[in-house]
Structure 1
Amino acid sequence: MKNKAVFISSILVTIFCCQGLADITLCDNGRTSYKIVLSENADISTAAAAVDFAAILKEMTGAVFPVVYDFYPAAEANEIILGIDNKHIKDHNLIKADMSFGEYQIIISGNSIIIAGGPERGLINGIYGFCRDYLDCRWLTPGCQYIPSKPTVKLPEIRDCKKPAFRYRSADSIMQWDANWTVRNRLNESKAASCGERPSAVMLLHNDTRTATMANSWNPHAFQSIPEAVYKGNELWRAEIEGSRKYIGNPAQRAFCLSNKEFNKWVAQWTLRQLRQKPNMPFISITHTDIGISCDCKDCLKAYKKIGISGLNIQFANNVAKTVAVEFPDVSIITFAYNHTFAPPGIKAHPSVRAVWAPIGADYAYAINEGEVNIKDNYLGQLRQWCANTKQLGIWYYQYSHFAMLPRPCLFATQKSLQKFKELGVDQVFIEMFFNPCWKKTFNTDTDKNIIAYPCFSDYYTRQTDAGSMFIPYGLEHLRGYIYSELLWDTDISVNKSIEDFCRIYYGPSHREIFEYVMLTEDLASYEEKSDFRKYDGLHIAVGSAPIPNKSYLLKCSELFDAAMSKTKNDPVFRKRVELARISIDFAILLFVNDEPDLRKKASERFFRTLDEIEPAFNTVIPRNGDFNLEDIKNNFLKNGL
Structure 2
Amino acid sequence: MLNSWNATLLLCFGLVPAINAQGAGALPAKFRDFKVYTTSTPDTADAGRIVATMRLLNSGADALNVEVSLSENRAAGFAGKAFQGRIEAKKEAVWEFDLRPPDGLKYQLLHGAITFAGANTGATPDRELFVAVQGPDPVDFGDTRVEKITARGQVIGTHAPRTPQRVHSLVAATKPSTSQGTPLVLAAGGSSKYQIAFDRLVSPPDAPQLTFEQYSSAAGRPAAEIELAEAVGDLRRCVEVKSGAALPVVSAVPAGAGPAIRVRIAPELPGKPHPDSYRLRTEGDDVVIEATTPEGLRNGIYGLLTDHLDCHWFMPKQLGEEIVIPPHRTVSLPPLDETCGPSFSSSIGMSWGSAPRWDRQNRSVINRGRMNFGHAWAGFIDLKLYPFDKFPDMWSRDRAGKIQVHDSSETSTNFCSTSPEVIRIVAEKINAQFDASPDAIVASLDPNDLAPLCQCDRCLALDASYGVTPQDDKQMADRLLHLSKEIHVQLKPQHKEKYLGILAYGFQTRPPKKAVPHPHHVTTVCDFPYYFDHTRPFNDPTSSYNREFESIVKGWGSKVKQLGFYDYYGHFDFFGPWGIVHKMREDLPAFRDAGGTFIVIESQPNFSMNGLNLYVA
The amino acid across from 1:225 in the alignment is G
Return closer, same or farther for 1:230/1:116 CA change in 2, 3 Å cut-off: farther
- The answer to whether the 8 A contact 1:36-1:79 is kept is yes
One-letter code aligned to 2:364 = L
Query: Partners in 2 of 1:383 and 1:306 — Cα distance?
Result: 24
Residues 544-601 of structure 1 deviation map (CA, whole Å, 9 limit, x = unaligned): xxxxxxxxxxxxxxxxxxxxxxxxxxxxxxxxxxxxxxxxxxxxxxxxxxxxxxxxxx
In structure 2, the residue matched to 1:460 is none
TM-superposed CA distance for 1:270, in Å, is 0.8
For the residues of structure 2 that align with 1:269 and 1:257, how far apart are their CA atoms?
Answer: 16
**Residue 335 of structure 2 corresponds to residue 181 of structure 1:** no
Tell me what 1:281 maps to: 440
Q: For residue 285 of structure 1, report the CA deviation from its aligned partner.
A: 1.8
Residue 183 of structure 1: how far off its partner (Å) = 1.2
Cα 1:333/1:39, change in 2 over 3 Å: farther
Pick from 136, 139, 160: which aligns with 2:338?
Answer: 160
Question: 1:336, 1:358 within 8 Å by CA — same for their partners in 2?
Answer: yes
Q: Secondary structure at the match of 1:378?
A: helix
In 2, Cα distance between equivalents of 1:46 and 1:149 = 24
- Identity, % of aligned pairs? 20
Structure number with the higher helix fraction is: 1
CA contact (8 A) 1:51 1:67 kept: no
Distance 1:257 1:302 in 2: 13
Q: For residue 69 of structure 1, what is the aligned residue in structure 2?
A: 251
TM-score normalized with structure 2 length: 0.58
Q: CA shift at 1:357, angstroms?
A: 0.7
The one-character-per-residue Cα deviations of 1:117-159 (angstroms, maximum 9, x if unpaired) are 3568222222111110100111111222111234321211101
CA–CA distance in 2 between the matches of 1:235 and 1:68?
66
Shift of 1:284: 2.9
Which residue of structure 1 aligns with residue 400 of structure 2?
243
Distance of 1:331 and 1:53 partners within structure 2: 37
Segments of structure 2 that go 5 or more residues without pairing to the other structure are: 1-177, 203-221, 469-475
Q: Match for 1:29 among 156, 181, 189?
A: 189
* Partner residue, 2:111: none
| RMSD between aligned residues | 3.1
1:348 aligned residue: 516
**Counterpart residue identity of residue 54, structure 1:** R
Over 3 Å counting, the alpha-carbon distance change for 1:219 and 1:167 in structure 2 is closer
- In the alignment, structure 1 residue 271 sits paired with structure 2 residue 430: yes
1:618 corresponds in structure 2 to none
**Any conservation in 1 of the 2:394–2:422 contact (CA below 8 Å)?**
yes
CA drift at 1:372: 4.0
Partners of 1:137 and 1:149 in 2: how far apart?
A: 9
Structure 2 Cα separation of the partners of residues 249 and 382 of structure 1: 27
Higher strand fraction: Structure 1 or Structure 2?
2
Task: Note the C-alpha offset of 1:292.
Answer: 4.5
Which residue pairs with 1:224 in the alignment?
378
Contact 1:100 1:163 in 2 (8 A): yes
Distance 2:297 2:421 in 1: 45
CA change 1:46–1:403 in 2 (3 A) is closer
**CA distance in structure 1 between the partners assigned to 2:453 and 2:278 by the alignment:** 45
Counterpart in the other structure of 1:57: 239
Is it true that 1:429 corresponds to 2:583 in the alignment? Answer: no
> Structure 1 residues 120, 73: CA separation in 2 closer, same or farther (over 3 Å shift)?
closer
Find the residue that maps to 1:36 and give its secondary structure. Answer: strand
Aligned mates of 1:323, 1:271 — CA distance in 2? 10
Q: Does 1:358 align with 2:526?
A: yes
Q: What aligned pairs does 1:112-511 form with structure 2 within 5 A after superposition?
A: 112-117=286-291, 121-142=295-316, 143-150=319-326, 151-170=329-348, 173=351, 176-188=353-365, 214-215=368-369, 218-226=372-380, 227-232=382-387, 234-244=391-401, 246=403, 248=405, 250=407, 252-307=411-466, 308=468, 309-324=476-491, 326-329=493-496, 331-345=498-512, 346-360=514-528, 361-374=531-544, 378-401=548-571, 404=574, 406-434=576-604, 473=608, 476-484=609-617
Q: Give unmatched runs, 5+ long, in structure 1.
A: 1-17, 87-91, 190-212, 435-452, 454-470, 485-642
Partner deviation per Cα, 1:46-69 (whole Å, 9 max, x = no partner): 344333332333333332223333
Structure 2 CA distance for partners of 1:236 and 1:145, relative to 1, 3 Å: same
Q: Secondary structure at the match of 2:314?
A: strand
TM-score (norm 1): 0.56
> Conserved in 2, the CA contact under 8 Å of 1:363 and 1:371?
no
Tell me if the contact between 1:231 and 1:238 (Cα under 8 Å) persists in the aligned partners: no
Query: Which residue type is aligned with residue 432 of structure 2?
Result: R
Say which SS state the counterpart of residue 273 (structure 1) adopts. Answer: helix
In the TM superposition, residue 231 of structure 1 has moved relative to its aligned partner by 4.4
Q: 2 CA distance for matches of 1:222 and 1:376?
A: 27
User: Kindly tell me: are residues 258 and 184 of structure 1, through their superposed partners in 2, closer, same or farther at Cα, counting changes over 3 Å?
Assistant: same
What is the DSSP-based 3-state SS (H/G/I as helix, E as strand, rest coil) of the residue aligned with 1:82?
strand
Counterpart contact for 2:568–2:601, Cα < 8 Å: yes
Aligned-residue offset at 1:406: 4.9
CA displacement 1:284-324 (0-9 Å, x = unmatched)? 32211112411112222122123342012122123333444
Provide the C-alpha distance between the structure 2 equivalents of 1:121 and 1:423, rounded to a whole number of angstroms: 25
